[in-house]
Amino acid sequence: MNAPAPLARRRLTRTASLTAQVNAAQRAAETMRSPRRRLLDDPWSRHFVDHPALRAVLTNRWLAGAAVRVFDRQWGGLHAHIVLRARFTDDVCAAAVSDGIDQLVLLGAGFDTTSLRKARSSVTMFEVDAETTQAAKRPTAERLLPAPRTGHIVWVPCDLEQDSLRDRLLAGGFAPQRRSLVVWLGVSMYLTAEAIEATLSDLAALCAPGSRLIADYIDTAVVTGESRSTGARRIARVVARRGEPYRSGFTLPGLDALLAAHGFGVRDHAGVAELLDRYDPTHTSGLAADDWLGVVCAERTGR
């Protein structure tokens, strides 16, 4: 597979754990908000937050709520996207399992807790990520897994610069003749166009017709510096200063065309505003709806 740029590789190895912790802290903080305002119930996320400052935010509901408000003011749209893409994923997962899909691939899993939430479903879950992040996640995840459980977790260490995703999944027991659901969140924006193409080529080779893919993305204008969202421009500067700039963005038609070229047809799409309309129709959360991120669900249409 084609290699991501060195900066993208650093994100997938040395710094992925911190990035994943921030996202876990966001989901945990949202879970601690009052039931009237919160948009996500993910009690497992807090267990993957070790950074002292992030843990301090999660000591009580008031601090958690204040942190969400500050985050949302600074980077409007990002918090809503992080927590509601999890809701979107849960809905797609539930529909896929109901439809008989029994393989779930978490690609660039980070500290995503889908495996814990789906532990009682009859699904084999492939957690794919860099060894450093998996080493931090696996002991805690295995301790938290509810009993009894019917789902089975396979840990698949994979460096996208040096390893073949296809080979690693097949070695882990992935069955390409069976339909699957691939969840690929929080990764594409850090990769080069070549790495995204290579990953989609691998998925096209692996996924049987009827398989589904969830992927999120940022708007092209954020990458070019032309976004009208103040929050988007701010977060782009933050990640660039950390040495992991946003490298790839899409318009929805552009992403639709790219997925179609690899045999995936988009069946659902939601930007931030649409996610809030779906999951917070009365707007009680008070979160910003800056629309510079999106998530899609696509289906594999043929080999």
- CB hemisphere CA count around 300 (13 angstroms): 25
Which CATH number is 78-300 given?
Answer: 3.40.50.150
Pairing of strands 181-184, 152-157: unpaired
**So what's the pLDDT on residue 303?**
62
Domain boundaries, the chain: 78-300
Angstrom CA distances, 153 to 4, 145, 148, stand at: 27, 10, 14
Decide if 299 contacts 212 (C-beta within 8 A): yes
Pairing of strands 293-300, 264-271: antiparallel
Distance from C-alpha of 67 to C-alpha of 302, rounded to nearest angstrom: 45
The tokens describing 124, both together, are: 């084999």
What is the chain's length? 303
Q: State the Cα torsion 20-25-28-33 to the nearest 10°.
A: -140
- Predicted TM-score (pTM) of this structure: 0.92
**So what's the pLDDT on residue 161?**
65
**So what's the pLDDT on residue 15?**
46
Q: Helix, strand, coil shares of the chain as percentages rounded to 5?
A: 50, 15, 35
pLDDT values of the chain reduced to their tens digit, one per residue, 303 residues: 333 333 333 333 444 457 789 999 999 999 999 888 899 999 999 999 999 999 999 999 999 999 999 999 999 999 999 999 999 999 999 999 999 999 999 999 999 999 998 887 889 999 999 888 899 899 999 999 877 666 789 999 997 667 889 999 999 999 999 999 999 999 999 888 988 999 999 999 999 999 999 999 999 999 999 999 999 999 999 999 888 899 999 999 999 999 999 999 999 999 999 999 999 999 999 999 999 999 999 999 976
DSSP alpha helices (H): ranges in the chain?
6-12, 16-32, 52-57, 61-74, 78-98, 114-117, 131-144, 165-171, 193-206, 220-224, 230-241, 252-261, 272-279
